[in-house]
Structure 1
Amino acid sequence: MLPVRDQLPTRKAPIVNYLLIAANVLGFFWMRSMIAAGFPPDRLLSLWGLVPAHLLTEPTDTWWTVFSSMFMHDPTGWAHLGGNMLFLWIFGDNVEDALGSLRYAAFYVLSGIAAAGAQILIDPGSMIPMVGASGAISGVLAAYASLYPRSPITVLNPIFLLWFIFGLFLELPAWLVILEYFVVNLLNGLGSIGMRSGGVAFFAHLGGFVAGLFLVRLFMVGRSPREHERWQHFRAAPRRPAARRDAPWGAPRRRDPWGW
């Protein structure tokens, strides 16, 4: 299910989230410019991407690729970057709003580090460069599902025939949309065990997601995800108590506690 938007408001502009998106987009165009200038794509990915075998054998020379790889994407196409930035745009602003900008920046980086660690643990001898923000963004998705599980998410209806019944878009709770993301990555990850060919680093997604579930509880200490007034719009209005049937006709009624 491809998410299109959510409906949660924010108290202030998500500056860190904007900066993360900008950094990823700039990294993508920088890689494309290097390739256009004649730099071999494989060499570029090996230098700036995370290669598990290199990191484990030469950690002092390659430790920084853990961070550089978070802002690099496959330079040969737009789908990798576009999908990641769409998810970050939809879910990242509310997580930053809940955590606070500085905490959100630290949360994002730690989720990315956990994602890299999970992929290295699964395939420590891999020579395939790993690039992309998917692991860190998976942590953001986990945080969003933990903080706002019932938030309505508009998704593209994935079944063409159902377009004529439910329309092009569906509105589903965040927990269901994000659970589907986790299950798909889990199944694909289990199916990829033992495969040495290039592809998607599913265990990086899973590692970032699991890290996000734990980290969000730590980073939310002392904060409330629903402390701003505009969140009241998304909370169910209190029900008015029903009138007593045995009250005599015309008798004065006691004012209910809601003031209605």
Structure 2
Amino acid sequence: MLPLANPLKPQSKPYFTYIIIVMNFLVFAAENFAYQQMLDNYAVIPRQLTTHVFSAETVLDLFRSLFIHASIVHLLLNMLYLWIFGEMVENWLGMGWYAGLLLLSGTAATMLQVLFDTNSTLPIFGSSGAVGGVMGAYLVLYPNTRIKCITPNSVMTGKLSDIPAMGVVALWFLIQLLAGILSLDMGSGEGGVAFFAHILGVIVGVTFVRQRMKRTYGKSYHFPAPTSPTSYGKIIPLRRSGSPRSPDRPAYNWKATDSNSGKALQKVESTLKDLKEQANNKLATEEKAPKEKPALDLSYLPSSARKREAIRYLSTRHGSTVSLQTENKTFHQGKIVRMTGTQVVLEDEQNTARWILFTEITQIF
């Protein structure tokens, strides 16, 4: 299975992800002229690292080694995964924390491989650990997003398969685990792929984002999962076929005639009664305030910060039912079916869509 596309689009351009991808390709181009020299000077050598722990050169190697790759296939696979999963992770974390995630997961993966054999002289390099950290972060933020993948079924049907992100990451994790166990059994003593280091990268990514969520939304944050996995990451139609129409769009347009004026009048009265009940239900829903404490209070923030925090929180609740309080003390309850750069769309029980500006949201329940 090979992931090819992510249906979610970031609110802003993930420039840092693009910069990292370009830098990796530039370094790989330089490797064609001095590959062995780059390994000797910039890759991590366990014996050198443990001998000169606090040397500035060895500390820099922990960072520089992340940009070196053994082959074009190694590079393309890492950059493909970074592009697919990194855009939305950078969008949620922000450039600074995203850079910290890449550095922390990549460094942790390298150090784990060093601990396996501190006297080894084989070079350690590659960004697979950092990419694993990004995948772990994406797993926490958007677990049910449908990733476009090439699978055996795709070869048969000629169409890409939609696989939940948790399935893609879980399969990748399992492959790394099994390959790592097999590599221990082989015990050749020669250089190879650091499979367990990749696994640690995923664990670091999961832990990193969970801690960021707790610091942002409080220790009681419960990491909600979307209630509708099949629709997560997709734009749901605002009105499904066969669903009731909204009060401002009557279902019927009766024309009374001399022969059926009585029946037409009864149907019009029945339709008006139904519309009145829908309007009353809508008003009752808006005026009824939730009894529980808000999961996120934005009332004290300026409009720009309120918009940013609302987007970060609601992006993790896509497909879930939420209650929002706006500046005019009105409550709106419904399922999140769509998000744009400025508004969120809620769909209530009557399948009526409401567009709410992020800057007007003061509390989220």
TM-score, scaled to structure 1: 0.82
* CA shift for structure 1 position 30: 1.7
Equivalent residue number for residue 161 of structure 2: 170
The DSSP-based 3-state class of the residue aligned with 2:216 is: coil
* CA shift for structure 1 position 212: 0.8
* CA shift for structure 1 position 234: 4.6
Equivalent residues in 2 for 1:206-225 (5 A)? Answer: 206-220=199-213, 221-222=215-216
**8 Å CA contact 1:117, 1:207 repeated in 2:** no
Equivalent residue number for residue 63 of structure 1: 59
1:181 aligns with 2:172: yes
Alpha-carbon distance in structure 2 between the residues aligned to 1:130 and 1:235: 46
**8 Å CA contact 2:8, 2:233 repeated in 1:** no
Alpha-carbon distance in structure 2 between the residues aligned to 1:208 and 1:190: 17
* CA shift for structure 1 position 58: 2.1
More strand by share: 2
Greater shift, 103-112 or 217-226, is seen at 217-226
Alpha-carbon distance in structure 1 between the residues aligned to 2:29 and 2:206: 32
Alpha-carbon distance in structure 1 between the residues aligned to 2:42 and 2:124: 9
Higher relative contact order (CA 8 A, sep 6+): 1
Amino acid corresponding to residue 73 of structure 1 in structure 2? H
Equivalenced residue count is 239
**8 Å CA contact 2:102, 2:130 repeated in 1:** yes
**8 Å CA contact 1:139, 1:210 repeated in 2:** yes
Larger Rg computed on CA atoms: 2
* CA shift for structure 1 position 139: 0.2
* CA shift for structure 1 position 23: 1.6
**8 Å CA contact 1:107, 1:219 repeated in 2:** no
The DSSP-based 3-state class of the residue aligned with 1:13 is: coil
Q: For residues 135 and 236 of structure 1, do their structure 2 counterparts lie closer, same or farther at Cα, with a shift above 3 Å needed?
A: farther
The DSSP-based 3-state class of the residue aligned with 2:161 is: strand
**8 Å CA contact 2:23, 2:67 repeated in 1:** yes
**8 Å CA contact 2:8, 2:234 repeated in 1:** no
The DSSP-based 3-state class of the residue aligned with 2:124 is: coil
Alpha-carbon distance in structure 2 between the residues aligned to 1:196 and 1:237: 59
Amino acid corresponding to residue 62 of structure 1 in structure 2? T
The DSSP-based 3-state class of the residue aligned with 1:4 is: strand
1:199 aligns with 2:192: yes
1:27 aligns with 2:58: no
Alpha-carbon distance in structure 1 between the residues aligned to 2:189 and 2:107: 22
Q: For residues 238 and 116 of structure 1, do their structure 2 counterparts lie closer, same or farther at Cα, with a shift above 3 Å needed?
A: farther
The DSSP-based 3-state class of the residue aligned with 1:50 is: coil
Amino acid corresponding to residue 131 of structure 1 in structure 2? F
Q: Which runs of 4+ in 1 moved over 3 A?
A: 223-226, 231-241, 256-260
Equivalent residue number for residue 297 of structure 2: none
Alpha-carbon distance in structure 2 between the residues aligned to 1:204 and 1:236: 43
Equivalent residues in 2 for 1:56-95 (5 A)? Answer: 56-59=50-53, 60=55, 61-74=57-70, 77-95=71-89
- Structure 1 unmatched ranges of 5 or more: 36-40, 242-248
Equivalent residue number for residue 109 of structure 1: 103
Alpha-carbon distance in structure 2 between the residues aligned to 1:112 and 1:232: 28
Equivalent residue number for residue 133 of structure 1: 127
Amino acid corresponding to residue 179 of structure 1 in structure 2? A
Q: For residues 218 and 195 of structure 1, do their structure 2 counterparts lie closer, same or farther at Cα, with a shift above 3 Å needed?
A: farther
Two-structure CA RMSD over aligned residues (Å):
2.8
More helix by share: 1
**8 Å CA contact 1:48, 1:69 repeated in 2:** yes
- Structure 2 unmatched ranges of 5 or more: 225-231, 245-266, 283-347, 353-365
Amino acid corresponding to residue 72 of structure 1 in structure 2? I
Greater shift, 250-259 or 88-97, is seen at 250-259
* CA shift for structure 1 position 126: 2.2
**8 Å CA contact 1:122, 1:203 repeated in 2:** no
The DSSP-based 3-state class of the residue aligned with 1:163 is: helix
Q: For residues 234 and 204 of structure 1, do their structure 2 counterparts lie closer, same or farther at Cα, with a shift above 3 Å needed?
A: farther
* CA shift for structure 1 position 237: 6.8
Q: For residues 235 and 175 of structure 1, do their structure 2 counterparts lie closer, same or farther at Cα, with a shift above 3 Å needed?
A: farther
